Amino acid sequence: MDRLPAVLSGRVLHGKGLGQKFEIPTANIEPVENIDGLVYGVYASDVRIGERVFSGVTNLGIRPTVEDGEKVNAETFILDYDGDLYGKEITVTLFKFMRKERKFDSVEALMEQIRRDIRSRRSIP
User: Which residue segment(s) compose the domain that 32 sits in?
Assistant: 6-116
Q: How far apart are CA 41 and CA 1, in angstroms?
A: 10
Average pLDDT over residues 105-109: 94
* Alpha helices (runs of H) in 1-125, residue ranges in sequence order: 18-21, 107-122
- The dihedral built from the CA positions of residue 54, 62, 89 and 22, taken in this order, carries a sign that is negative
Q: Would 123 be classed as within a structural domain?
A: no
CA 70 to chain centre: 16
Question: From residue 90, how far is each of 9, 86, 109 by CA, in Å?
Answer: 6, 10, 28
Q: Would 1 be classed as within a structural domain?
A: no
Residue-wise pLDDT for 24-75, tens only, equals 999 999 777 778 889 999 999 999 999 999 999 999 999 999 887 788 889 9
Per cent of the chain over pLDDT 90 is 76
Which CATH number is 88's domain given? Answer: 2.40.30.30
Burial class (CB in 10 A: 0-12, 13-18, 19+), 45: buried
Q: Total domain count for the chain?
A: 1
Q: How far apart are CA 124 and CA 18, in angstroms?
A: 26
